Structure 1
Amino acid sequence: MTENSAPHPGEEKRHSVRLTDPRALRAYAHPLRMTLVGQLRRHGPFTATRAAELTGESVASCSYHLRILAKYGLVEEAPGGRGREKPWRATARYTEWPGYSEDPSVAQATDELNVAVAERYFGRFAQVLQNRTDVTKEWREAELFGDALVYLTPDELHALGERIDELLDAYLDREDDPATRPEGARPVSFLKIAYLDPDPDPDPGTDDDKD
């Protein structure tokens, strides 16, 4: 699994930080901590005071959660601090964690993190949909909102994900270099979600559909 937020323009980061320790997975499965990492990737470096302004939380709370994130390698102190006002920065562009693990403790912590990330994604999406007065007709008609049920093997689903990544790769440089963005380009959140549907198919050998 991978979660991404755009890095701050001009800021060099390693590609990703991978979480495999159950304690790290559970530490990251906290709404404010995920928000702080995302904000640092996009707007950092910044101090706990600025974090409080961006999130609406207290400075003390932001400072505490930033220290927890630093403990697990998701953020670090940035140079340029003055006195007690130390800036923080994200350590990587992406956060990754296992899609599968033989270790029950890792598997459980991964499931908990996946639920937290899904709630964050769709909570934000629902919040955005509630206030659309400033979204133009052009953008409304361009946005994607729908689903499809397809029958795939695991290998085919993996290959489909790689094809989607290849399409997105053509636009990723625009995160770091504003000069590459065409006029009218705005940040767009693109979610990749595909899961095994839990609803069983009807048994083709039954007579349910017959008169």
Structure 2
Amino acid sequence: MRDLSGDPAAMSALAHPVRLALLELLGRDGPLTATAAGERLGQSPGNMSWHLRILARHHFVVEAEGGIGRRRPWMLTASGQRLDPEQGSEEERAAADALLSTVVERTFGQLRAWLASRRAAPSSWQRAAAVSQWTLYLTPAETAQVRDTIYQLLAQFGDRVEDPSRRPEGAMPVNAFVSMHPQALPPDKAQP
């Protein structure tokens, strides 16, 4: 897991839906050439090559072994990214806001696609998938504790992105989106 906090240039580079899709594709399918990635994402090889070079410049991907010329496969450098959007300079916060907005739009688009097609999925996946909403009364420390517990639980499966041999039979890429925030601050607690 790569921490993007303190690197606004990397956050800005990643705040593009095609680049997010490309990282997701590389995590799912392993090393790919720009041509193969373009075919799967409906993009031209030239466009994929350009996006891959930007991702490489910011250390999200590297060239995998065994490539020659235009047949160079690319692979991920980390199984995922995280950031603290509230820390750092104004530039860092602006870059984090742009990245988070792109991630949320992409995530909700994928959720909408799942909801629209879920009845065509095998019943085992229909039963396993979940969309839930909870209201919890927590302190900031408790919220951080719940968040950290969820992160630790999810991290147990992170090596399956980097090492496909660790994926059990029947495993599919599954999106996990966790959002924890106060519903609204009371007027006397809101900051200007």
Q: Which runs of 5+ in 1 are unaligned?
A: 1-14, 204-211
TM-superposed CA distance for 1:179, in Å, is 6.2
Tell whether 2:28 aligns with 1:42. yes
Tell which structure's C-alpha radius of gyration is larger.
1
Q: 1:89 aligns with which of 52, 70, 75?
A: 75
**What secondary structure sits across from 2:181 in the alignment?**
coil
The equivalent residue for 2:101 is 115
**What secondary structure sits across from 2:35 in the alignment?**
helix
Structure 1 pair 164–21 and aligned structure 2 pair: CA distance change class (3 A): closer
- The equivalences for 1:54-133 within 5 A come to 54-133=40-119
**What secondary structure sits across from 1:144 in the alignment?**
coil
- The equivalences for 1:115-154 within 5 A come to 115-154=101-140
Give the paired residue count: 187
Q: Quick one: distance in 1 between partners of 2:164 and 2:108?
A: 28
**What secondary structure sits across from 1:76 in the alignment?**
strand
TM-superposed CA distance for 1:19, in Å, is 5.1
**Percent sequence identity over aligned pairs:** 36
TM-superposed CA distance for 1:168, in Å, is 3.4
Please, what is the CA RMSD of the aligned residues? 2.5
AA matched with 2:41:
T
Q: Which runs of 5+ in 2 are unaligned?
A: none
Could you state the TM-score of these two structures normalised by the residue count of structure 2? 0.84
**What secondary structure sits across from 2:118 in the alignment?**
coil
Could you state the TM-score of these two structures normalised by the residue count of structure 1? 0.77
Tell whether 2:146 aligns with 1:163. no
